[in-house]
């Protein structure tokens, strides 16, 4: 059985393994989360609101497709993205989805709720503003994710500490908050809180994965 058709079938079948891994909403959410940094099964389950058992099963699939790697640390199993290419694929697939699927764009729009929440998409100019201190780039993800990687000149105040650490932010600067990416709601909530307290705040819908800064190894 070495005919051309047989060979081709083998080839596309392998590529389809990646597609299969990316065909479940839960697995995609796990991938996005792992793009923020390595995590244990328990943490992944908590953050995604999936049962530990089911999380484990989905991670098993991701590992079968070689998209994630594991390392046993004591009684924990730490999962991480296999390499940067996986993060780039996550960005590629969700970007294509946003490009093609009206339904997705609709949900994203209604997520923004207030029209002025979107920050400028131009990365260079944002970095320039942040470097000069004209805006404060605020990372509202958990501290360990900030530690693993963060946008240039960002400072870390996790969302659940924001209320009591408001005083750390200058009142006269615009705050640009970001979190895990366009589907994460933490930055949205942070901006809502900041505005209620009188700050000028914008949400940057991108995260480290979209900026090509996913931590690996």
Helix (H) or strand (E) holding 117: none
Active-site residue list: 179
Specify the residue, 126 or 204, whose C-beta has the smaller distance to a copy of itself.
Answer: 204
CB of 205 to a copy of itself, least distance (A): 12
Measured CA to CA, the distance from residue 139 to residue 154 in angstroms comes to: 6
Q: Would you state the structure tokens that stand for residue 166, as one six-digit string? A: 């408001």
Q: Which residues contact 67 (CB under 8 A, 6 or more apart)?
A: 18, 21, 31, 81, 82, 86
* Cβ density class 11-37: b for 16+ within 10 Å, e for less: eeeeeeeeeebbeeeebbbbbbbbbbb
- Binding segment for a copy of itself (CB under 8 A), chosen from 96-104, 140-148, 154-162, 168-176, is 96-104
Give the number of other Cβ atoms within 10 Å of residue 119's Cβ.
Answer: 22
CB of 209 to DNA, least distance (A): 22
**What track of x and - describes contact with a copy of itself for positions 74 through 93 (by CB under 8 A)?**
--------xx-xx-xx--xx
CB of 55 to a copy of itself, least distance (A): 14
Residues that bind DNA (CB under 7 A): 20, 23-24, 26-27, 40-42, 45, 51-54, 56-61, 70, 72, 74-77
- Which phi and psi angles does 200 have, rounded to 5°? -90, 115
Chain residues that interact with a copy of itself, rule: CB under 8 A: 4-5, 7-26, 28-29, 49, 65-67, 82-83, 85-86, 88-89, 92-97, 99-101, 103-104, 107-108, 111, 183, 185
């Amino acid at each position: 059985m070495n005919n051309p058709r047989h060979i081709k079938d083998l080839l596309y079948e392998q590529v389809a393994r990646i597609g299969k891994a990316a065909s479940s909403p839960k697995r995609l959410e796990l991938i996005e989360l792992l793009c923020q940094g390595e995590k244990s099964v328990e943490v992944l389950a908590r953050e995604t609101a999936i049962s530990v058992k089911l999380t484990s099963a989905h991670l098993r699939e991701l590992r079968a497709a070689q998209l994630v790697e594991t390392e046993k640390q004591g009684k924990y199993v730490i999962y991480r993205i296999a390499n940067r290419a996986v993060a780039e694929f996550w960005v590629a697939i969700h970007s294509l989805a946003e490009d093609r699927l009206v339904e997705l764009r609709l949900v994203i729009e209604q997520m923004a709720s207030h029209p002025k929440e979107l920050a400028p998409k131009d990365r260079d100019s944002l970095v320039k503003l942040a470097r000069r201190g004209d805006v404060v780039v605020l990372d509202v993800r958990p501290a360990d994710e900030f530690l693993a990687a963060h946008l240039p000149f960002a400072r870390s105040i996790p969302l659940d500490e924001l209320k009591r650490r408001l005083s750390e932010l200058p009142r006269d600067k615009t705050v640009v908050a970001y979190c895990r990416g366009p589907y994460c709601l933490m930055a949205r909530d942070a901006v809502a809180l900041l505005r209620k307290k009188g700050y000028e705040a914008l949400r940057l819908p991108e995260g480290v994965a979209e900026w090509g800064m996913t931590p690996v190894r």
